[in-house]
Amino acid sequence: MAKSAGQIVAASRAEQKITGEQIVHSLLSDFMELHAGGIGSDNPAVIGGIGLFHGQPVTVIAIDKGDTIEDKVNKHFGCPTPAGYRKSLHLMKQAAKFHRPVLCFVNTPGAYPGQEAEETGQGAAIAQNILEMSQLPIPIITVIFGEGGSGGALALASGDQVWMLENSTYSILSPEGFASILWKDSSRADEAAQIMQLTPHDLQQKHIIDGILEEPNDHRQVVQNIDRVLQQQLSQLQKMPVEDLLKQRYERYRKF
Amino acid sequence: MNLYDHNNTLTAHHIKADREADAKVPDNLWTKCPKCETTVLTDDLDQYQTCPNCFYGFRISARQRLNWLVDQFTEFDTDLQTTDLLNFPGYDQKLAKAQQRTKLNDSVLTGTAMIGQEKFGLGIMDPTFIIGSLGTVTGEKITRLFERSTEQELPVVLFTASGGARMQEGIMSLMQMAKVSAAVKRHSQAGLLYVVVLTDPTTGGVTASFAMQGDITLAEPHALVGFAGRRVIEQMMHQKIPRDLQDAETLLSHGFIDRIVRRQDEKQTLQWLLKYGG
């Protein structure tokens, strides 16, 4: 039986969910992590680097929620800081320079809302990512594999295609936030999830996303599903003249 | 338990009924500046609606701003209407009320304007229209503003004011950030100038997109400019945050704003930038 929106929200946040680390290291045959963003600090919530995807060098950017408690705290439970977004933009521009496609993997409750994040320009960092991604002359594909939290997710999901694992969500705010605004009661999150249209199925119907990937319990199979679709789509996008690619990307968002 | 039958009370029956008398009494005889707490006789506020002490600009509608900002204006896209995609309870009524009050179809006014000899694309977000939130029509109007201005090789000036995404429109509101940004980028690639004027409040998804994509970024004194809401930050940090964390002046000192400009100087400043800045 199909899962309810509330069940999908719970599954997207489940402890046993595949991690950004796992995806990066099992999808690519060789991965070298790169840390620099050139802006004062590194943000461990964003894993970035270059790896080989079926023998082809690609730039990979993945949000990771962390493993141990200490790791989770360091990564703000998968909420990137401005430095994380600036690192990802630095890597995307580098990818464009060397004609490497970009693969993004997103699982975030949202961009980190802390004092320091405000002081270092969280809004500006996200704004620059979205602005630049619209015209980078290389294919950019995003897979949302858990939570797709608002602008913090969009900052890595405004390229050519967006795919979602079946147990993931993509929304303007959390169901808890929505319920607390609408009914002043965050415990009615399940009801909120129903009306928010945040499930992969709802989003595909609105053409917000390009497709849904099955998500069996075995993480190796999940990676295989991601692998298959990325290989297929990447080869299509790489055949396109850059001009057509960018025109298609513009149209993708223009219709909303 | 009611002590008196409601219909027998004076308030319900007599006072409220005299609408004519009510209308003669000004709503707000006194205005208190929310920033420096100076109290001003409302009648003493001029067309610019700024605090005489700290120059904070009170929240004004887009049409009020238009009155003193430009010499000529031709409005675009007054006919676009949003649809209630999520069937959000009470959204239709909320929209109708905002439309009636602001004389706008959504939270932004767009068109072509002239200041002196300078012709440009102009957008003014309206903080009195559902706190200037970013709905589909808002995004569409701003996108068209950039597309038309690119076609006509005109610079763009955009006054931002927004509580962020419009949650009644869900994910479609988020998509506006990508749609507008792509149009801003094309305008920029055509070598055209984009000047942003941040006004109170500019937050959330608007800050995280076109408010922070200008070539030159101005702000009004003490305008609130930020990404996350104060309450959200305090809950995350488990402590109070500085009162001025999201003041335009703080962002200026952190290097995110070029200049703070008082309302009475905006017209002249924009004219200069349109002439020499792009």
Residues B237-247: pLDDT tens digits? Answer: 888 999 999 99
Single-letter code of the amino acid located at A234: L
**Domain range for residue B232?**
61-276
B268 domain-assigned:
yes
Contact in structure between B193 and B215 (CB atoms under 8 Å) = yes
Of B136, B170, B233, the CB nearest to A118: B233
Buried b (16+ CB within 10 A) or exposed e, A177-197: bbbbebeeeeebbebbbebbb
Alpha-carbon distance of B210 to B196, in angstroms, equals: 8
Residues of A in contact with B176 (CB under 8 A): 256
Sign of CA dihedral B141, B145, B146, B148: positive
Beta-bridged to residue B218, according to DSSP, are B197, B259
Q: Nearest-CA neighbor of B256 among A122, A80, A134, A116?
A: A122
Beta-bridged to residue A223, according to DSSP, are none
What CATH number does the domain containing B242 carry? Answer: 3.90.226.10
pTM above the 0.80 mark?
A: yes
pLDDT at B271 > cutoff 70: yes
Domain limits of chain A?
A: 5-254
Q: Nearest-CA neighbor of A234 among A86, A104, A64, A63?
A: A104
**Cα A185 from chain centroid?**
29
User: What DSSP string runs through A138-180?
Assistant: S-EEEEEEEEEEHHHHHTT--SSEEEEETT-EEESS-HHHHHH
Q: What is the mean pLDDT of residues A55-72?
A: 96
Question: What per-residue confidence (pLDDT) applies to B187?
Answer: 98
B65 domain-assigned:
yes
Residue of A nearest to B172 (CA): A256
B37 domain-assigned:
no
Question: What per-residue confidence (pLDDT) applies to A40?
Answer: 81
Minimal C-alpha gap between B99 and chain A (Å): 21
Which comes out higher in pLDDT, residue B82 or A240? A240
Alpha-carbon distance of B97 to B77, in angstroms, equals: 19
Single-letter code of the amino acid located at B141: K
Model confidence band, residue B13 (pLDDT cutoffs 50, 70, 90): very low
Contact in structure between B219 and B179 (CB atoms under 8 Å) = no
Whether A154 and B236 lie within 8 Å, measured CB to CB: no
Beta-bridged to residue A58, according to DSSP, are A51
Question: What per-residue confidence (pLDDT) applies to B6?
Answer: 55
B78 domain-assigned:
yes
Q: Is A26 on the interface with B (CB under 8 A)?
A: no
Alpha-carbon distance of B56 to B221, in angstroms, equals: 5
Instruction: Give the strand order in the sheet containing B156-162.
Output: B72-75, B108-115, B118-125, B156-162, B194-202, B216-219, B259-260
Residues of B in contact with A195 (CB under 8 A): 86-88
Buried b (16+ CB within 10 A) or exposed e, B37-64: eeebeeeeeeebbbbeeebbbbbbbbeb
- Residue appearing with tokens 């869900």: B170
pLDDT averaged over chain B?
A: 91
DSSP-based three-state secondary structure for B95: helix
Question: What per-residue confidence (pLDDT) applies to B88?
Answer: 84
Residues of B in contact with A122 (CB under 8 A): 208, 227-228
B253 domain-assigned:
yes
Which of left, alpha, beta for A73 (phi over 0: left; psi -120 to 50: alpha)?
alpha
- Tell me the pLDDT tens digit for each residue of B21-62: 555 655 678 889 999 999 999 888 899 999 999 999 999 999
Q: What is the mean pLDDT of residues A176-204?
A: 91
Whether B208 and A173 lie within 8 Å, measured CB to CB: no
Q: Nearest-CA neighbor of A235 among A59, A48, A53, A20?
A: A53
B39 domain-assigned:
no
Whether B204 and A151 lie within 8 Å, measured CB to CB: yes
Alpha-carbon distance of B177 to B148, in angstroms, equals: 18
pLDDT at B253 > cutoff 60: yes
Q: A5-254 maps to which CATH number? A: 3.90.226.10
Q: Is A196 on the interface with B (CB under 8 A)?
A: yes
Share above pLDDT 90 across residues of chain B, in percent, rounded to a whole number: 78
Beta-bridged to residue A63, according to DSSP, are A46
Cis before residue B201, ω within 30 degrees of 0?
yes
- Tell me the pLDDT tens digit for each residue of B118-167: 999 999 999 999 999 999 999 999 999 999 999 999 999 999 999 999 99
- From the CB of residue A73, how many other CB atoms can be counted at a distance below 10 Å? 10
Question: What's the total number of domains in chain B?
Answer: 1
Q: What is the mean pLDDT of residues A88-93?
A: 98
- Tell me the pLDDT tens digit for each residue of A98-132: 999 999 999 999 999 999 999 999 999 999 999 99
- Tell me the pLDDT tens digit for each residue of B61-75: 999 999 999 999 999
Contact in structure between B232 and A150 (CB atoms under 8 Å) = no
- Tell me the pLDDT tens digit for each residue of A22-42: 999 999 999 999 999 877 889
Residues of A in contact with B88 (CB under 8 A): 195
Q: Is A127 on the interface with B (CB under 8 A)?
A: yes
Contact in structure between B188 and B116 (CB atoms under 8 Å) = no
Report ipTM (2 d.p.): 0.97
Residue A102 DSSP one-character state: E
Q: From the candidates B141, B173, B175, which should be mutated to test the interface with A, based on the most A CB atoms within 10 A?
A: B175
B79 domain-assigned:
yes
Question: What per-residue confidence (pLDDT) applies to B207?
Answer: 98
pLDDT at B9 > cutoff 70: no
pLDDT at B8 > cutoff 80: no
DSSP-based three-state secondary structure for B255: coil
Sign of CA dihedral B171, B176, B179, B185: negative
Question: What per-residue confidence (pLDDT) applies to B278?
Answer: 87
- Residue appearing with tokens 């001009």: A243
